[in-house]
Every structure is written in C-alpha cells, then in structure tokens.
Amino acid sequence: MQNSSTSKIGTSSVRKYLSFFLCSILVIGACSKFRVDDYNPYLYGRVKLGKDLKELQVSIVNRVPTNVPNQVAVASGVIYVPDFEQSLIKAFNSDGDLKFVIGNSKEKQDKVKNFNVKLGRIGLVTVSDNDDIYVQSRVSKEDAKSDKVAENIYAKKSGEFRTDAEEAIPSVILKINDSGKLSQTIYADGTGGSIPFGYVERMEAGNNDLLFVFHRHNGAMRLSVFDELGKLKQKVEGIDFKDSLNQGEAYTWYVDSFFSHPDGEYILGSFSFYETKSGRFKNRKILKYELKDKRIIPIKEIQDPSETLYWVLNNDNFFIWETEVEEGNSIRLQVHDEDGNHVNNIRLNYPPPRGLWRETWMDTNDEIYSMKIRSGYLEIHKWK
C-alpha cells in the first residue's frame, strides 16, 4: 500500500509539472507571436532651410519655419521636396545637394538643371519606381470656392494637429516623366477628363505604374485607381460596402480610409460606427474589397478608437497604427496578416522632444520615413 501511495504521488507530481510545462510553452509561444520589434530612426538625408535656390525656401513667422511640407517623396536615392513658397519641386541627394528643379524658376544657377513645367500651387507629391513624378497642382483661392472638411478626431495620428480645417481647392495631378517633361494631366475622371479633384487626402504611386488617390467626390470619400496612361481604372466608395455594413438605425457608419495593395488587386476599407443618438464610438471594421470579382470579405473588428488602419504591405500584411499614450514618445504598428490575425508589433521610438517630429509615412517599398525640423534643416529619417 505504501508503494502504491508513493507511486500515485509521483504520478500526480509528474502530471502537475507536465501541465505546468505545457502551459509555459503556450505562454512563451503566445508572447513570441505578439513580440514587439523596436525600430529606431537613422538620418537618411537633410535639406537646409534658407533663401537660396539650393535651399528649401520657407516663411519664418515668430522665428518658426512655416509652409513646410509634412512629408516628401524618396525614390532612387533622390529626395523630392515641394517648395511651396516658389511653386517648385526640388530634388536633393541625401547630402542635401540640389540635383535639379522642376517648375518655372525665376532664379537660375550653374550646375543645377531646371525643367520648366508650370506647376501652379503645389499640393501632394509622389514618385513611382520608374521615377515618374506626380504633383497635385491647385488653382488659386481667388479662382475657386473653398470647402471646409469636417474633422474626425478618431482618424488622427499621434503628433498630428491642425489649427484650421482643410480647404478643398480644385486641383489636377500632373505626371512628369523622368526626363522632366509633362506627360499627362490627370483629372478625377482621368486624362482627357474635365472634373478636377477637390479635397485630396493621400496620393500614392503604386506598382505597375498605378496611381492611387484618396479624395472627396460629390461629398463622399473615394479611392480612385489610375493606370499608366492616366485613365481611371477603378473607383471605390463607401456605397460599395453598404450591404456589408448595414446595422439598422441604431448605428451610423463613416468611411475612415481606403488603402490599396500596391499591385491594385484589392482594397482595404476602414469604417467607424457610432451610436446614432449619442454619437458615441462603437467600433471600427476593416473589410477587403477584391476588385476583380467585386467580392467583400470582413477582415477585422477594432474596439479601440485610437487604433486606425495605416498601410497595406506588398506581402499582404497590413499595419494598424496604435497611439501609445502612456509612452508619449513612441507609437506601435500592429502587424496583421491578410486574414486579420495579429501576428507581430513594431514600435517606433521617437527621440525626444516629440514636438520636433512631423508626419510619419510609408512608400510602396514598405519603407517607413519620418521628418522633423532641427537646427535650420529639414531632416528625413528612415526606420529600421
């Protein structure tokens, strides 16, 4: 009997430790699945602020540089910086040396190429893998009515602030080839069209010479996809998702954003739901819209209003931007696979002071960039 009892105790202990071991393995596996990869910025290039053609010419108000872009385009080792003061696109190398200028420059300098293209008032700028430059060209305020766009505080990213609402000034998109010549003028209805863009929130050059423009059209946000000839290939609006979003009269939904895969095969749409009576945030839903067969697939539901869809990567993963309020100097990019499973995290650690950092953006090579102004320079930082 004594041996039997000892045997039972031993068996029980083995089971206890085996269970503990298996639980530990599961916990370790779960932790590794949701690990955090810390990314830090390194200086990719910088451009001097000043009054010379070879510098970025900006306005100084109360000793603070104003009229400075929030982001720039980087392609083939060249930094394309819009100079709003002079209505020029200035192309610098990473050392801050001016390589060439696009636009009607009144000032000429030796050893600096100037491609004379009438740009108008410059807005957004993006560059394709083939070094084609897309420039949003806007008409003057005197020639068009402005339209205030309602602000959605739940769609704002960490560090972003505005003192005024955005103004929707009609514009077109100019495509300038790698020889510095204007090759296309793209309207909201494509090349050869007549409908200008209104409010444009994002403009991205995709793979295969595609262009994605997230803009307002007839009061609704739309993602328009243009092909290499500037023709309107696809357009997606919130109404295309309505059958998958209907939750009765108790809740009202709004479009947060549309992001296309760089190849243009599908679009991820983010939608926020609010209680109709109280206006209180309920949740956010991410749906996949396959452009070929127009099939809609639910991907993700988010309960936290501080988490927003941020980018679609080439490998079909996507990022959700999460503001880390407690940290203050960092944000987290949640990595999700194409089925919406949370598989990893990336933390971007911003060296203080956080107020110096401007916008953080990505390109179609899935590279992450940030910008800040320091000691009279516009600095472009890359994350890894």
| Residue 151 exposed, middle or buried by CB count within 10 Å (0-12, 13-18, 19+) | exposed
Q: Predicted confidence band at 60 (pLDDT cuts at 50, 70, 90)? A: confident
Mean pLDDT for 159-184 is 78
What average pLDDT does range 291-315 have in this prediction?
Answer: 96
Mind listing the pLDDT tens digit for each residue in 206-229?
999 999 999 999 999 999 999 999
Q: Looking at residues 124-149, what average pLDDT do you find?
A: 75
pLDDT interval class at 106 (50, 70, 90): confident
Q: How far apart are CA 171 and CA 57, in angstroms?
A: 23
Residues 6+ apart with CB under 8 A from 282: 251, 273, 274, 275
Q: Six-digit token pair at 142?
A: 């005197």
Residue 30: C-alpha distances to residues 12, 50, 66 (Å): 27, 52, 47
Q: Which helix (H) or strand (E) holds 32?
A: helix 2-33
Under 8 Å between Cβ of 49 and 376: yes
The model's pLDDT over 36-58, given as tens digits with 9 standing for 90+, comes to 999 999 999 999 999 899 999 98
Give pLDDT, residue 204. Answer: 97
Alpha-carbon distance of 134 to 279, in angstroms, equals 38
pLDDT score recorded for residue 305: 93
Percent of the chain residues topping a pLDDT of 90: 72
pTM: 0.84
